[in-house]
């Protein structure tokens, strides 16, 4: 042990025991240990879950109490392990640790600790604020670390647990909770900006999906000298559809349903990204390392799927109302709030609450693979670019994340890839939601019926109707969403 005789160590341990054993009973149970740690203002004083592990580590005979001899043996063994760990970090062997040595030690241990957390940890351990950590400071701060052989991973896990308790002994509003709320806020802002920007393309997509006329009918109408009928009955081109939407109400028609969309998208995006980040943390704990950045690729895809399903279920009634409102927007008809109220009343009068949830199973079935592919692919590619940049620049990953252009490119690719694969499910779900409207008067009995009628009337190609405007909307929408989301996370200092 460093510059300390056995007698000096015994005296120090005995003095510490005397402070912990506040009632001078000669032994400590869990409550007694908590009282003693509060007296010396130790970081573990309110961390009940860790104290139970400490008690088990010290209590050699397993009787639920710590005797002085057990405590003395625990301290000697733990201090020796901490000394070995300290020496492995102290590369210049000067008996002091600076931030550079600590950062290098964490990197060698496979831990990429953000600078903000490293600085916070360093200031906590450096009790005399002299800019370096002595072994005495290191030892006193980490003495009760619940690990047989302390490692830097155990140290960081221990530290993260101790800083989450408030003076009353309750779990404080810690970084993880604050970050969780921040992810919801960042997701909500990203959704609003993205949906408002691409609202006309979304309107065009829904309009085309609602068209069910067959190409054969259009051909027959053209042959019989009825080009107007052919144009109405045939699959609408983008140009024709755009002209008809403009004729139905100008710019207002292109943004029909956007107010409702904004009301819908804020909780949708907030819940999607919030649930996604929460799922990543859950999988990180399941995998045993606790770092959401390092979860397995399949875990990222599963987390994305869960996030998508939760958000879809939360906002599905508003989604259905929006689709039906868009399909009831015609020239000379109701617009704005009047149309929203009229559409909602019509839905309620026809089938009650069930009207708002038509196609939900298909929606959840379709959103899981889409969200999994979209969010999972984005996270995978972003991580790959970040690691590449960090290695190329020789810096921490925090300083190597993709810029706005690369983020937009990755987001657009992941969104288009996911949307293309699950588009048929999205089309069938939209038709179930919009059935019985002015633009889509046809009705269905369920998922199998809408599938059968679509393929029978329009062929397999009918399952991909509106894909082009959908991709024209998805690529910029998802790109904008991810750029705004990542920038919002940076502004909120989320990691």
Residue 243: inside a domain:
yes
Contact 139, 149 (CB under 8 A): no
Place of tokens 């559809």: 241
The answer to whether residues 431 and 394 belong to one domain is yes
Residue 231: its pLDDT value, please?
41
Q: Flag whether 169 is in a domain.
A: no
Residue 319 included in any domain: yes
DSSP state of 235: P
**Of the candidates 11, 8, 7, 29, which has an alpha carbon nearest to the alpha carbon of residue 20?**
29
Main-chain phi, psi angles of 2, to 5 degrees: -70, 115
- Do residues 438 and 393 both lie within one domain? yes
Q: Which of 315, 204, 302, 198 is nearest to 253 (CA)?
A: 204
Q: Which two tokens stand for residue 17?
A: 């025991």
Residue 171, pLDDT score: 32
SS3 96: strand
Is 222 inside any structural domain? yes
168 in any annotated domain: no
Question: Could you tell me the residue range of the domain that residue 52 belongs to?
Answer: 6-162
- Residue 385 in domain: yes
Examine the domain organization and report whether 417 and 383 are in the same domain.
Answer: yes
| Pair (119, 224) in one structural domain | no
Single residue among 162, 193, 217 that ends a domain in this structure: 162
Shared domain check, 464 and 350: yes
Reduced to 3 states (helix: H, G, I; strand: E, B; else coil), residue 375 is: helix
CA angle 243, 211, 205 (to 5 degrees): 60
Residues 378 and 441 in one domain: yes
Establish if 17 belongs to a structural domain. Answer: yes
**375 within 8 A of 304, measured Cβ to Cβ:** yes
List, for residues 79-107, the tens digit of each pLDDT value. Answer: 888 888 898 888 888 889 998 898 888 88
Number of Cβ within 10 Å of residue 120's Cβ equals 14
| The last residue of a domain, from among 105, 136, 162 | 162
Q: How far is CA 344 from the centre of its chain?
A: 32
Q: Residues 145, 95: one domain?
A: yes
Same domain, 198 and 65: no
**Nearest alpha-carbon partner for 194 in 441, 477, 482:** 477
pTM for the whole thing? 0.51
- Residues 108 and 65 both lie in one domain: yes
119 and 237 fall within a common domain: no
R_g over Cα of the chain: 31
Residues with Cβ within 8 Å of residue 60, at least 6 apart in sequence: 70, 73
Q: Please say whether the beta carbons of 486 and 183 come within 8 A.
A: no
Low-confidence ranges of the chain (pLDDT < 70): 1-3, 43-49, 146-151, 153, 156-181, 205-238, 245, 249, 252, 254, 256-258, 260-261, 289-290, 326, 328-336, 396-398, 438-439, 493-495
CATH value at residue 406: 1.50.40.10
Q: What is the pLDDT of residues 216-231, one digit of tens each?
A: 444 444 444 444 444 4
Model confidence pLDDT, tens digit, residues 308-324: 888 888 888 887 887 77
- Residue 69 within a domain: yes
Return the pLDDT at 260: 64
**pLDDT on residue 398:** 67
Picking from 108, 133, 162, the residue at the C-terminal end of a domain is 162
Q: What is the CATH number of the domain that holds 43?
A: 1.10.238.10
* Beta pairing, strands 96-97 & 133-134: antiparallel
Considering the domain architecture, whether residues 384 and 477 belong to the same structural domain is answered as yes
Please state the domain count of the chain: 2
């Amino acid at each position: 042990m460093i510059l300390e005789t056995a007698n000096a160590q015994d005296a120090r341990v005995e003095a510490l025991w005397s402070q912990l054993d506040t009632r001078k009973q000669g032994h400590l149970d869990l409550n007694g240990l908590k009282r003693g740690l509060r007296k010396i203002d130790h970081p573990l004083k309110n961390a009940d879950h860790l104290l139970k592990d400490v008690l088990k580590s010290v209590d050699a005979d397993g009787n639920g109490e710590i005797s002085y001899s057990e405590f003395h043996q625990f301290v000697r063994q733990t201090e020796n392990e901490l000394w070995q760990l300290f020496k492995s970090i102290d590369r210049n062997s000067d008996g002091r640790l600076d931030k550079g040595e600590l950062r290098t030690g964490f990197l060698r241990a496979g831990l990429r600790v953000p600078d903000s957390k490293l600085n916070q940890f360093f200031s906590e351990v450096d009790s005399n604020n002299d800019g370096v950590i002595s072994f005495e400071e290191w030892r006193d701060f980490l003495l009760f670390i619940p690990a047989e052989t302390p490692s830097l991973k155990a140290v960081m896990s221990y530290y993260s647990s101790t800083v989450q308790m408030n003076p009353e002994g309750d779990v404080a509003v810690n970084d993880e909770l604050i970050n969780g709320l921040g992810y919801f806020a960042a997701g909500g802002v990203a959704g609003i900006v993205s949906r408002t920007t691409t609202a006309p393309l979304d309107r065009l997509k829904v309009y085309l999906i609602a068209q069910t006329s067959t190409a054969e009918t259009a051909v027959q109408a053209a042959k019989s000298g009825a080009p107007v009928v052919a144009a109405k009955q045939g699959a609408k081109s983008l140009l024709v559809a755009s002209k008809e939407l403009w004729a139905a109400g100008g710019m207002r028609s292109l943004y029909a349903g956007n107010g409702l969309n904004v009301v819908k998208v804020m909780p949708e995006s907030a819940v999607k990204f919030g649930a996604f980040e929460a799922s990543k943390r859950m999988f990180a704990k399941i995998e045993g390392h606790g770092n959401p950045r390092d979860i397995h690729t399949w875990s990222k895809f599963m987390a994305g799927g869960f996030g998508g399903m939760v958000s879809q279920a939360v906002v599905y009634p508003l989604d259905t109302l929006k689709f039906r409102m868009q399909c009831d927007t015609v020239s000379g008809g109701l617009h704005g709030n009047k149309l929203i109220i009229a559409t909602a009343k019509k839905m309620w009068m026809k089938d009650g609450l069930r009207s708002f949830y038509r196609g939900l199973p298909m929606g959840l079935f379709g959103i899981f693979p889409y969200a999994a592919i979209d969010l999972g692919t984005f996270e995978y590619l972003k991580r790959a670019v970040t690691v590449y940049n960090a290695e190329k620049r020789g810096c921490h990953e925090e300083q190597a994340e993709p810029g706005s252009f690369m983020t937009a490119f990755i987001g657009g690719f992941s969104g288009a890839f996911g949307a293309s694969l699950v588009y048929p499910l999205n089309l069938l779900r939209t038709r179930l939601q919009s059935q019985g409207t002015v633009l889509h008067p046809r009705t269905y009995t369920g998922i199998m019926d809408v599938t059968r009628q679509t393929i029978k009337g329009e062929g397999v190609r009918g399952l991909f109707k509106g894909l082009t405007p959908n991709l024209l909307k998805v690529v910029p929408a998802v790109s904008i969403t991810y750029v705004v989301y990542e920038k919002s996370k940076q502004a909120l200092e989320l990691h």
